[in-house]
Amino acid sequence: MADPNEVNVREGGGNLASDIEAALSGEVPFSNLPLADFSQEEITKAMQDALALVEKNLGKDYPFVIGGELLHSDDKSVSLNPSHIHQEIGHISKASTVDVGDAVTAAKEAFKAWSHTSARERAMVLLVAAEEMRHRKYELAAWQVYEEGKNWVEADADLAESIDYLEYYAREALRLDMPLRFDIPGETNEYFYEPRGVCVVIAPWNFPLAISAGMTTAALAAGNTVIYKPSGDSPVVGAIMVDILNRSGLPTGVLNFVPGPGAEIGDPLVSHPDVDLIAFTGSREVGLRIVRLAGDTREGQRGIKRVIAEMGGKNALIVAEDADLEAAAMGTVISAYGYQGQKCSACSRAIVLEGVYDKYLEILTEKTMQITIGPAEDPDAFFGPLINEAARKKVLRYIEIGKHEARLALHRDVGSLADEGYFVGPVIFADVPPRARIAQEEIFGPVLSVIRAKDIDEAIEVANDSDYALTGGAYSASRETLDRVKREFKVGNLYLNRKITGSVVNRQPFGGFKMSGIGSKAGGPDYLRQFMIPRTVTEKIG
C-alpha cells in the first residue's frame, strides 16, 4: 500500500507526507494546477531540458502488464513522431486475445482485496502519483510533444489536467465514502456506495495522459480494478502512466495494461463475461459498437455491463451582429486550430449573422494566415502535424468533399513539412450549407465551415441541427442574446464570449449528450458515482 513517507523525495523541500495528510483530511481543498508560463526563461529552459532528456530515451521497448508481471511479446508495434515520421518513439509489445483473458482474471482476483481497501488508502495512491507527475511535469509534457505532436502549451495543459483529475478524484472518493443515514425510531437506514468490479478503460490518443489518467483513476478511486487499453497512437505515454500508478502503491493486479489494436482486442475485452464496466472515450463509431456489444449477455455473465462513453462533436460558435469581431475571430482560430482541430471540443462550424459575415470572414482569414506552423518541438509553433497518415488522408478527403459543397476560402500550404510529418494546413470553407457533409460530420482536423445565418433564430436552429451535443459557444454584446443562447443552444459545455476548448477540472466539468456520449461529466461531482453501485441497508432495532 502507498506510504507517503517512503516517497518523500521532494525537490526544494516540503513534506509530502504531511501534504498528503492535509489533502486526505480535507484541510487542503482541491485547486487546479496553474499552467506553465513559457514566457519565463527558467520555464522555457526546463522544457528544453526535458525535450533533450526524452529524446535520449526514445526507441525503447515497453512491455504490457498483467497481474504485476511485465511481459514482452515478439509482436510489437512502433510508435512514431507525427512531426518527424522517421523518428521512433518506442516499441510496444502487443497483448493478444489470450492476454486479454489473463488480464481479466488478474483484475478479478485483485478486486477481492482492492474493493475492501479504504477510500483513504485508495485516495492516497492517487495523491502519491500526482506528486510524481508534478515532479516530472516537463518530462511528461515532452513525451507528448514527441509522441502526439502537441505543441508545448497543449502538452503542458494535458499534463496539468491529468494531475487535476488525480487530485480531484482522490477527494471525490473520500466525499462519497460517507454513508447517508435516514434513521427513524426502531429502524436504521444506511445508503452507501460500493465499487462495481472489473473496469475496462479504453482511451483515445488526443489527450493521451489526461483522459487515460482521468478514466483509470476514477475507476481505481472508486475501488474497481482496471484493464487499461491505450490508443495505438499513444502507447508510450500510456505505459508511463501505468508505471507511475503501479509504483504509487497499487497492489498487484489492480491495474493491468493491454496495448494492442482495438480491432483485435477491443471486442474480447468489452464482451468478456467477467467485465462489469467499460469507460470509453473515442469516436462515435467505436463507442456505439461498445454500447451494442456490452448490451449482449454471455454465458456465465452475472450482471449487466455499465458503459460510460464519451464520444465526438461537431461544435459550433455563433457570432452575433453585436459581437466583438476581433475577439470572435481570435476565439474561433484558437478553438478550430488548437492542436490542429484534433480535440473533441474543437470548433468546426462558425455560424455568423448576415450583417457581420463578410467582415468576420476577412478577420478570421487574416488571423488564420498568421498562425505559425511547424514541428511540435519548436517553441514558436502553434500549429503542428496530424496524428497519423490515416488522419491526414481523412482530412484531405474531406477537403475534396468540401470543394464540391462550398467555397474554399483558405487552405494554408505547409510546404516541405508535408514530407517530414503528417501536416495539413488550416482550412476555411465559406458559404457552407448547414446540411453539407463538412458541416455535419466530425472531421477531427483543421477544417472549419463558416455558415451564414439571417438572424439569431436561424443561427440557433442551425447550431442545434447536429447529431452531436458536446461543446458550443456564442459571441455577443447583448445580455438578451447570451441568455437566449444559454437556454436554447443545447450542448454539454457552452462557452459565452470566449474560446470553446480547454475545460478545467471542477470549474467546467466536461462531457456531452446526444451522439456525443452517455455518462456524467468528467471532472465533475457526478463522475465517480458512475463507477459505483449504491446500496441501502435497513435494520429493525429494539
Residues acting as catalytic residues = 310, 344
Binding segment toward ligand NAD, per CB under 6 A, in 8-16, 135-143, 203-211, 419-427: 203-211
Residues 387-426 touching ligand NAD, rule: CB under 6 A, are: none
Site string for ligand NAD, 455-494 (x = CB under 6 A): ---------------x------------------------
Per DSSP, helices labelled H in 406-497 are 417-420, 437-440, 456-464, 479-488
Among 236, 286, 376, 450, binds ligand NAD (CB under 6 A): 286
Q: Which residue has the cell 474561433?
A: 332
Q: Which stretch binds ligand NAD (CB under 6 A): 78-86, 478-486, 510-518, 528-536?
A: 510-518
The C-alpha cell that represents 450 in the structure block? 463558416
Give the Cα separation of 328 and 319 in Å (integer): 7
Candidate ranges 153-161, 164-172, 283-291, 357-365; the one touching ligand NAD (CB under 6 A):
283-291
From candidates 9, 184, 263, 541, binder to ligand NAD by CB under 6 A? 263
Residue 61: Cβ-neighbour burial (10 angstroms; 0-12, 13-18, 19+): exposed
Stretch touching ligand NAD by CB under 6 A, among 90-98, 122-130, 305-313, 494-502? 305-313
Q: Work out which of 374, 442, 473, 505 binds ligand NAD, going by CB under 6 A.
A: 442
**Does 262 help bind ligand NAD (rule: CB under 6 A)?**
yes
Does 82 contact ligand NAD by CB under 6 A?
Answer: no
Task: Give the integer Cα–Cα distance in Å for 124 and 169.
Answer: 11
Residue 42 has a CB neighbour count (10 Å cut-off) of 7
Q: Considering the complex, state which of residue 270 and residue 307 has its C-beta at the smaller distance from ligand NAD.
A: 270
- Binding residues for ligand NAD, how many (CB under 6 A)? 32
Residue placing its CB nearer to ligand NAD in the complex, 20 or 344: 344
CA distance 266 to 91: 20
Using rule CB under 6 A, residue 208 touches ligand NAD: no
Candidate list 90, 149, 214, 232; residue touching ligand NAD; CB under 6 A: 232
Query: What is the full DSSP assignment across 300-315?
Result: T--SPPEEEEE----E
Contact flag: residue 259 with ligand NAD (CB under 6 A)? no
Query: Which range, of 59-67, 164-172, 229-237, 331-339, touches ligand NAD by CB under 6 A?
Result: 229-237
| Binding flag, residue 312, ligand NAD (CB under 6 A) | yes
Q: Which of 205, 339, 423, 475 binds ligand NAD (CB under 6 A)?
A: 205
238 near ligand NAD, judged by CB under 6 A: no
The yes or no reply on residue 282 touching ligand NAD (CB under 6 A) is yes
83/315 with CB nearer ligand NAD: 315
Give the gyration radius of the chain's Cα atoms. Answer: 24
Residue 335 touches ligand NAD, criterion: CB under 6 A: no
> In this chain, which stretch among 263-271, 404-412, 423-431, 534-542 interacts with ligand NAD, using CB under 6 A?
263-271
Bridging pattern class, strands 180-181 and 84-93: unpaired
- Which of residues 122 and 343 has its CB atom nearest to ligand NAD in the complex? 343
Helix pair angle (210-221, 235-247), 10° resolution: 30
DSSP state of 299: T
3-class secondary structure, 456: helix
Among 81, 162, 246, 281, binds ligand NAD (CB under 6 A): 281
* 433 and 405 Cβ atoms separated by less than 8 Å: yes
CB within 8 A of 285, min separation 6: which ones? none
Nearest to 211 by CA among 386, 50, 31, 344: 344
Q: What is the SS3 assignment for 75-88?
A: CEEEEEECCEEEEE
103 binds ligand NAD (CB under 6 A): no
Contact yes or no for 199/152 (Cβ under 8 A): no
| 8 A C-beta contact, residue 415 and residue 405 | no
Cα 363 to the center of its chain, rounded Å: 31
Contact status, residue 151 vs residue 376, Cβ threshold 8 Å: yes
- Contact residues for ligand NAD (CB under 6 A)? 202-207, 211, 229, 231-232, 262-263, 266-267, 270, 281-283, 286, 289-290, 310-313, 344, 442, 444, 470, 511, 516-517
